Amino acid sequence: MTTQKVQPKLIIHGGAGSSLKSKGGVEIVRKSLYKVLEEVYALLLAGESARAAVVRGCHLLEDDPRFNAGTGSVLQSDGQIRMSASLMDGITQRFSGTINVSRVQHPIALAEALQSSPDRVLSDFGSAELVRELQVPIYNPLTDIRLQEWMQERDDNFNKEMAGVVAEKELVTDSSAGRGTIGVVALDSHGRLAAGTSTGGKGFERIGRVSDSAMPAGNYANGYAGISCTGIGEDIIDECLAARIVVRVTDGMSLAAAMNRSFTESRDRKRDLGAIGLDAMGVIAWGKTSEVLLAAYHTGEQMGDTLEWTGDELTGFVC
């Protein structure tokens, strides 16, 4: 870790899944992601901490109904929305999260509030009590598209295993192949790392199912690297993907090598997942075994994304 001023870096994602239906779909998602990049990177340039930047980025992505987190979250099998989120501050080594919370606009805000609590991960009942304690306004994250999606699946007796990757019908080729989550990883000008992840879940799942997004398996950071995951939550949990990559970097592997090894193992075990990451040196990296990873990044000099990255390579990186 360094105490010298460094160039801030930022990477975000809006989920993973099957291919976007058209170039128009790609451009719509790109516009949404780049808008978030521009606002959050400006905060980093102004001196905000990595943790504050991550929380703000998650807020913005949770407010975008195209993504399955916050507004636009999918419905579970009983027609209710239950969301999960977590925040990891790489400097303090504190992980906090909320599991299956309902009727809030920003689940990541609850995770942030829990950073200073001795009890840092709360389930549905505990999260509901925290909402009351914080006097968080009641909010309905339901969108018409998500309701229509659930009603159609109800009529089909919930044959699909999960809902679509983005809440725009024209952007989805196969709604059964979506893995909707949002995530942000930031490196600030003091070399501090943080990671945050938020999700509405798989959609149509059994009541009480817990995603990876509120676990170190799906969201983890320390002073060496930060990772946010997306994909099939159970696959991410089985791989303990975020923590595995961070531990490998901590033990001396480069971020690129740690990502490549972890995704090679995941592919060999037929996992369906993706991840974004940053290390303390400012290397930006990503990986996927799914067809598409909806990620975008800011190097300090330019913005880029992975929306049309469909090559044979499992991972990629920029410095």
Burial class (CB in 10 A: 0-12, 13-18, 19+), 24: exposed
Position 176 confidence tier, pLDDT thresholds 50, 70, 90: very low
Count CB neighbours of 155 within 10 A.
Answer: 9
The structure tokens listed for 142 are 């339901």
Give 240-282 pLDDT, tens digit per residue.
Answer: 999 999 999 999 999 999 999 999 999 999 999 999 999 999 9
Query: DSSP H helical segments within 64-212, as ranges?
Result: 107-113, 124-134, 144-155
Q: Over range 105-109, report the average pLDDT.
A: 98
Quote the Cα angle for 80-82-84, to 5°.
170
Active site residue 3: no
Which listed residue (181, 199, 230, 315) is catalytic? 181
What is the set of domains in the chain, with CATH numbers?
9-318 (3.60.20.30)
Strands, E, within 188-289: which ranges?
193-199, 219-221, 225-231, 273-279, 284-288
- Please determine, for residue 174, whether its predicted confidence score (pLDDT) is greater than 80: no
Question: CB under 8 Å to 123, separation ≥6 — which residues?
Answer: 99, 100
Distances (CA, A) of 302 to 61, 75, 225, 283: 20, 37, 21, 14
- Please determine, for residue 180, whether its predicted confidence score (pLDDT) is greater than 90: no
Going 264 to 197 to 233 to 22, the CA torsion angle's sign is negative
Position 156 confidence tier, pLDDT thresholds 50, 70, 90: confident
List of long-range contacts for 109-118, beta carbons under 8 Å, 24+ apart: 109/55, 109/59, 109/136, 110/85, 110/134, 110/136, 111/85, 111/86, 111/87, 111/196, 111/214, 112/51, 112/55, 112/87, 115/51, 115/87, 115/89
- Please determine, for residue 135, whether its predicted confidence score (pLDDT) is greater than 70: yes
Give 197-237 pLDDT, tens digit per residue.
Answer: 999 999 999 999 999 999 999 999 999 999 999 999 999 99
Q: Report the range of poorest mean pLDDT among 12-21, 28-37, 210-219.
A: 12-21
Q: Report the range of poorest mean pLDDT among 21-30, 148-157, 225-234, 272-281.
A: 21-30
Average pLDDT, the chain: 91
Maximum distance among all Cα pairs of the chain, rounded to whole angstroms: 59
Q: Report the range of poorest mean pLDDT among 108-122, 154-168, 229-243, 274-288.
A: 154-168
Give 48-95 pLDDT, tens digit per residue.
Answer: 999 999 999 999 999 999 999 999 999 999 999 999 999 999 999 999
Q: Report the range of poorest mean pLDDT among 17-31, 146-160, 269-283.
A: 17-31
Q: Over range 291-318, report the average pLDDT.
A: 92
Q: What is the pLDDT of residue 153?
A: 85
Position 161 confidence tier, pLDDT thresholds 50, 70, 90: low
Q: Report the range of poorest mean pLDDT among 43-47, 168-172, 189-193, 295-299.
A: 168-172
Q: What is the pLDDT of residue 163?
A: 63
Distances (CA, A) of 118 to 93, 122, 243: 14, 11, 22
Q: Model pTM?
A: 0.93
Report helix, strand or coil for 245: helix
Percent of the chain with pLDDT over 70: 90
- Please determine, for residue 114, whether its predicted confidence score (pLDDT) is greater than 90: yes
Position 159 confidence tier, pLDDT thresholds 50, 70, 90: low
